[in-house]
Chains A and B, each alone.
Chain A
Amino acid sequence: MAIIVDENTKAIVQGITGSQGRFHAERMIAYGTKIVGGVTPGKGGSKVLGVPVFDTVKEAVEETGANASVIFVPAAFAGDAIMEAVDAGIEAIVAITEGIPVYDELKVYKKVKAEGRILIGPNCPGVMSVGKSHLGIMPPQIFSEGNVGIVSRSGTLTYQVAYNLTKLGIGQSTVVGIGGDRIIGTSFVEVLEMFENDDQTDLVVLIGEIGGTDEEEAAKFIEKRMSKPVVGYIAGITAPPGKRMGHAGAIIEGGKGTAESKIKALNEVGVEVGRTPMEVAEIVKRTLKG
């Protein structure tokens, strides 16, 4: 088993005719992901990478039976693309786009939750169930199949930790990049719950960063509901207050959202937090052995 996506997931790519969309669609197909079509308004009827392109998501779903979508649409149109996907009945939506206006993200969030769908991102690297399916922009070669789940706000740190795990001979079940924006579709807590219920996952690595209180919420959930061990990493110990550190959501505001407070919250519920990405992998190795 895996979470969010598996070998049966049938995905479309919204924005498949753009340079990003096409490039990554090709990589996803090469990985074995079932990409059944693409959507670009005005380009319906053509073909890209051997799959049909549709004008609307609704048409794409009717013709292909797609249940997932990956969005590579520019920020100004990405909110609209997510709303369209929800209305067309798509179950799992992965939004890669960075820089979506936060008011669009708020409305999209409410819609996704009201309709009971899954939105991963925005501003995320996507989700990969290793060896089964990949919706996003992750570099597949660094992952290996196994029993460790990863949930992360940062793309590159996800890769770094997975790479270290793979080097130590530890494989991954599903890797979820939930995104670096302030308002994202799926929280740490929701992904932790999925991993708790996933029989392929024996341990979860949680990669957080400064800003917001999602890691603190995760700590509460871990204490109450997780039976599986969780290993943490928090980036931004040296980040100055009031400055956005690359991600829109990575900012210490009004003294809240510091790396220290997050590490403390996790430590207090028994989560060991690695000080470096390599230390994280070593803790995972030790924990799995014990």
Chain B
Amino acid sequence: MKPIIALSIGVLFGFGLTLAQMTNPLAVIRFLDITGKWDIRLAFVMCAALLVTLVGYRILFSKLDKPLLSLKFRLPNKSNIDSQLIIGSIMFGVGWGLSGYCPGPAIAGITINPRESLIFILAMFVGVKAHHLSVETQRKVKIAQ
């Protein structure tokens, strides 16, 4: 049952991303291009997504102690601002601006623009692996010390 529900939530998300034109990298770049012919469309997308999530989270956190199909809410527990957050977010922004793809739209757009999506996702896989390896190496160095 859980796989089907996770799949359905993904379908809704991917459908929404495509309806919102997030899967169109040109629309994303036009949105980021504030000094050019700025396309305000994605600002509406972000505002609507945020508003629904903000209100929805408020209601469900105030009414429920635990999620319906799991034992507890698993919220990110980090609260400090560190250099990893800052450097990682800037790196992500540079990558996003270069192609107009971020992770969700690249995956949702795999049948819409397969060539670009597939190359991007494979490269993203390499980036994720590189990060995992660097974490692993740092851990080993620490243990050795």
Same complex origin of A and B: no
Hey, which bits of chain A sit against chain B, CB under 8 A? none
